[in-house]
Chains A and B, each alone.
Chain A
Amino acid sequence: MAAAAPVIEIERLSKTYRLGPVHVEALRDVSLTISQGEFLAVMGPSGSGKSTLMNILGCLDRPTDGVYRFDGQEVEALGRDALAAIRSRKVGFVFQGFNLLPRMTALENVELPMIYEAVPSAERKERARSAMAALGILDREEHLPTQMSGGQQQRVAIARAIVNSPSLLLADEPTGNLDTATSEEIMEVFVGLNEERGITVVTVTHDPEVARYARRVVRFRDGRIVDDGPGEGRGRRGRASADDA
C-alpha cells in the first residue's frame, strides 16, 4: 500500500482567515502526502485546523498559500467548475450533520451527485440502489431523512458519497452525532469501503475510539501537524487477524 501513487500531495500549505481586524491562521506550513488506499484519521482539538484541511482537500475551499496536488493535478489553477467536477467525480463527503436534503427521499438524496453528472434516470436509480444495498439501507429508499435514525441517515449520506465511485472519501466528524454502537457500525462501513473498494478514507475526529479504526493518525495543534504515525487499524482486518490467532 505504501508504494501506491499519492492521491494527495500538499506542500507548505497555509490558510489565513480574516475575521474583522483579526487574522486567524487556521493552517501553517502544512505538508502531507496521502497515498491511494490509505485510511487516515486527522485528530486534534477544535480550532486546530483539521476541518479547514478537510475542506481544502475536498476542493470546497482554497488555501491562502502553498501547493495542493490532487491525483497529480495542481488545484490552485482550477476554476470553480473544474473544482466542482473534482468534488463530483473524485471526492465523496460525509458530514457530522449528515447534510441530506430534507424534502427528498433517501433514494433521491443518493441520486443527487449523479444528477449533476447527467446520468440517465434509469441508470441513476440502479446505481443508487446498489450503493444503498451495499450499506444495508435498501429498505429505506422511500423514507425522508426525518423518518430515519441517525445511523440510517449517515448510511444514506455515505451511499451518496460513494455513488459516483470516488477515489477519496472525506469524513468530517462522521460519528459526532451518533451513539457509540452506531458509531462503531459506521466506522466498520468506512473500513469495508477502504478494504474492499480501495477507496482512500480521510476522517477528521476528536474521538480516540474512532481514530483507532485508522491505519495512520495525523495529529493537529494550532494549525500544524504535531504527530504523524501509524494507527491501530481496528475493524474487519483487525478482527479477522484476531480470529486467525
Chain B
Amino acid sequence: MNLYSAWKIAYRSLRANRMRSILTMLGMVIGVSAVIAMVAIGAGANERIASQISSIGANLLLVLPGSTTAGGLRSGFGSAPTLTMADAKAIGRELPSVRLAAPSVRSTTPVVYGNQNWSTLIQGVTPEYFEIREYRLAEGRYFTADEVDASSKVAVVGRTVIENLFGDESPIGEIVRIKRVPFTVVGVLEEKGQSLQGQDQDDIIIAPITTVQNRLFGSAHPGSVGVIIAQAVDRESIDEAERETVALLRQRHRIGSGQEDDFSVRNLSEMLAVAEASTRIMSLLLGAIASVSLLVGGIGIMNIMLVSVTERTREIGIRLAVGARERDILVQFLIEAVFLSVAGGAAGILLGIGGSLLISRFAGWSTLISPGAVIVAFSFSAAVGIFFGYYPARKASRLDPIEALRHE
C-alpha cells in the first residue's frame, strides 16, 4: 500500500468523525499555541533586555573615584575627588582597547522655564558621552568640544523635561534657567525609556561639564569629576580595557605597588549578563510549562485512537481478510494520528502567533515570534502524533483477523 492510499483512508475516517477529530486536534492546537505564545513572551523579554543593554551603551566600563576616610568613617567609592578631566582624556586617548571615554558630573536641581518649573537630573559631560551612551537627537544638535572648553551655557534636553516645561512647543533656542543661570536649549534627545533599574532616562538635561562645574555646582576641587565612563572597542576587549585603565590610573595617580587604588573600575556588561540569564531561565520555564499541555494533547490523541481502533475492529478484520499486511494497518492508523497532531499543530501555530500579537498589543508585553520556535513546535507536534499514535496503531495491526471479523 502506498502512502497516498493510506492517507486517503485516514482522511475519510477522520471526516466521518468530524466533531471528534476537531476536538482531538483542539488539544494539540492549545498545546502548540501555548508553546509558541510562551516562547514569544520569553523571547520578547530577552529582546527588551537586549534593547535596554544597548540603551545604556555597549561594552561599558565605569570608573569611580576612591573613598575618603574622615575620622575613621570610610565614605564609599566616589566620595574622594580623585578623578580628573585629564584622567578621562588620557583613558580615551592612550589606551588601545578603549574607544572613547567621557567624564561626568551629575546633580538634581530645579529647572525653570517661564512660569513652569521641574526638578531634573543635570548631567555635565563632554560630547563623547552622547556617543558612548548612544543618546540620539530628535531635534537640534549636540554641544561641541569647543563649547565645553568655553563653558558655554547650552543644554541638550530629554523628552520628559520637555513635556513638563514646554508642553507642545519646540524648545530649540529657548532659554531655561538652572539655579538662575540661563541655558540655551540646542538639542532634544530621542526617547530612551526606562533603565534596568527603572529610572526614567529621559528625565535629564545634559550640558558641558565645564559649565556645570563652574556655574552650577562649584567644587572644592576644581577639575575633579564624578565618574568616568569608558567604552571598550568591542565585547572581547572589555577585560583588557579594564586592566589597562587600572594600570594607567595607578601610574597617573602615582600609586606604588602594594598601595590600594584610589579609584574603582566596574564592568557594566557583567550586570547585564545576569539580567539576560534570568530572563533566559524564565523563557525556559514558560516553554516547559507550555510543553506539558502539548503532552496532554498527545495523550488525547492516543485516547481517541484507542477508541477508534476498538470501534473499527471489524473494519480492520475485513482489511486483513482481503490481504492487508500488519504494516498496512499500522501505517493507516499512524497517519490518522499524525494528521490529527500535525493539523492541530499548524492551527496552533496560527493561533499562537495571533495570540502573541494580541498579548503584545493589549497587555503591552513585548513578544518576539522566532521562526525557530515555530519549526520546533511543529516538528514536536508531528513527533507527538507518531509517539502517541504508535501504540494504538500497533494494537490495531496486531489484531487477530478471525476475532476482528467476529467483532460486532
Which residues of A are in contact with B by a Cβ distance under 8 Å? Answer: 55, 58, 60-61, 80-81, 84-85, 87-89, 93, 95, 99-101, 103-104, 112-113, 115-118, 160, 164
State the main secondary structure of chain B at its contact with A: helix
B401 within 8 A of partner (CB):
yes
Report the Cα distance A100→B12, complex, angstroms. Answer: 16
Closest to B2 in A: A118
- A171 CB, nearest partner CB in chain B, Å: 13
Report the Cα distance A158→B196, complex, angstroms. Answer: 80
- A51 CB, nearest partner CB in chain B, Å: 9
B236-276, CB under 8 A of A: which get 1 and which 0? Answer: 00000000000000000000000000000000000000000
| B321 near A87: Cβ-Cβ < 8 Å | yes
**Among the listed A84, A101, A160, which residue makes an inter-chain contact with B325, where contact means beta carbons less than 8 Å apart?**
A84
| B321 near A99: Cβ-Cβ < 8 Å | yes
Which residues of B are in contact with A by a Cβ distance under 8 Å? Answer: 1-2, 5, 12-13, 16, 314-315, 317-328, 401-402, 405
Given the known inter-chain contacts A60-B401, A99-B405, please indicate yes or no for A117 contacting B323, CB distance below 8 A: yes
**Among the listed A60, A104, A118, which residue makes an inter-chain contact with B405, where contact means beta carbons less than 8 Å apart?**
A60
| A55 near B323: Cβ-Cβ < 8 Å | no
Closest to A61 in B: B402
Report the Cα distance A87→B321, complex, angstroms. Answer: 7
- A154 CB, nearest partner CB in chain B, Å: 14
| A87 near B323: Cβ-Cβ < 8 Å | yes
**Among the listed B2, B323, B405, which residue makes an inter-chain contact with A84, where contact means beta carbons less than 8 Å apart?**
B323
Tell me how many residue pairs across A and B have CB atoms closer than 8 Å: 63
- Residues of B with C-beta under 8 A to A88: 322-324
Closest to B9 in A: A115
**Among the listed B1, B12, B315, B401, which residue makes an inter-chain contact with A116, where contact means beta carbons less than 8 Å apart?**
B1
Report the Cα distance A58→B13, complex, angstroms. Answer: 28
**Among the listed A87, A93, A99, A118, which residue makes an inter-chain contact with B1, where contact means beta carbons less than 8 Å apart?**
A118
| A85 near B402: Cβ-Cβ < 8 Å | no
- Residues of B with C-beta under 8 A to A117: 323
| A116 near B328: Cβ-Cβ < 8 Å | yes
Report the Cα distance A89→B322, complex, angstroms. Answer: 9
- Residues of B with C-beta under 8 A to A118: 1-2
- A60 CB, nearest partner CB in chain B, Å: 5
- A39 CB, nearest partner CB in chain B, Å: 22
Closest to B322 in A: A113
| B322 near A116: Cβ-Cβ < 8 Å | yes
- Residues of B with C-beta under 8 A to A93: 321-322
| A116 near B324: Cβ-Cβ < 8 Å | yes
- B168 CB, nearest partner CB in chain A, Å: 71
